[in-house]
Amino acid sequence: MADEKPPAPSLTKSCTPDAFRRHAFVRLAVESWQDAVCESGDTATLREWLADGRPLIVRRPCLTGDGRYACLGLALPGKRRLAYRVPVARVLSIEPPPLAQGIDFSVPGFELRLFGSHAWQRLTGLSYVTETSDIDLLLDLSTLEEWRTWLSRAVALPSTPQVDLEIVIRGDASFSWREYLGPAHDILIKSNRSVELVPKDHLTAFFP
């Protein structure tokens, strides 16, 4: 890498508080490791990671209560997971998970994105995907009309290779599509700040 340092970070429109959502990837200033709070992990790993220009991922609760720190995760090959809190002022950019291009599962009219091992491998160039790795996909729905259109297609997931689809409502409340298709009355909703069980027929309340 060149020794030239990146410009001083600032909180731009793309880094507003509501942009800090689960599954989003964050680019940090290289020297951010100096200000990081280690919850599980070490500063040496973070320092090397940032020096290589690699991103971290936003994790629940996304921001601390005072809004000063972003809650971030760093996934290493081999399923080691590290957790940090980094000053929001050190965030250079926030980007959505990569598009699920080249994945043998698509639904016309809907944009799918990757998370999990396939996303980390695509963004870092490191080896995360193994023969037993699931293909973790995200579908972000914004309106009740989109949800009803999705339901009308009654999309089933292929079982081989293993595909797990997480539906995200308006960038916040999310749930497993496979669980939704199951027999249980309630479904686990994971939001940017909490987790709760909700009756399946109450999902429409999460839409405006």
DSSP code string of 146-199: HHHHHHHHTPPPPTTTTEEEEEEETTTEEEEHHHHTSS-SEEEEE-SS-EEEEE
Q: How many CA atoms lie within 13 A of 51 on its CB side?
A: 9
Q: How far is CA 142 from the centre of its chain?
A: 17
- Active site residue: 42, 136, 140, 164, which one? 136
Give me the tens of pLDDT residue by residue for the chain, a chain 208 residues long: 333 333 333 344 468 889 999 999 999 999 999 999 999 989 999 999 999 999 999 999 999 999 999 999 999 999 899 999 999 999 999 999 999 987 777 778 889 999 999 999 999 999 999 988 999 999 999 999 999 999 887 677 776 568 899 999 999 999 999 999 899 999 999 999 999 999 999 999 999 8
Q: How far is CA 15 from the centre of its chain?
A: 15
Model confidence pTM above 0.85: yes
Dihedral sign for Cα atoms in the order 122, 62, 91, 41: negative
Would you state the pLDDT for residue 5?
A: 34
Cis preceding-peptide flag for 97 (omega within 30 of 0) = no
Active site residue 201: no
Residue with tokens 């959505």: 96
Residue 46: how many other CB atoms lie within 10 Å: 22
Tell me the pLDDT tens digit for each residue of 116-166.
Answer: 999 999 999 999 999 889 999 999 999 999 999 998 876 777 765 688 999
- The helix or strand, by DSSP H or E, that contains position 74, with its residue range, turns out to be strand 69-76
> Which residue among the candidates 18, 42, 52, 134 is catalytic per the annotation?
134
Across 97-108, b (16+ Cβ under 10 Å) vs e yields bbebeeeeeeee
If we measure between CA atoms, which residue out of 43, 48, 160, 166 comes closest to residue 100? 166
Strand-pair partners of 175: 167
C-alpha count within 13 angstroms, C-beta hemisphere, residue 28: 33
User: Does the active-site annotation cover 134?
Assistant: yes
The SS3 of residue 24 is coil
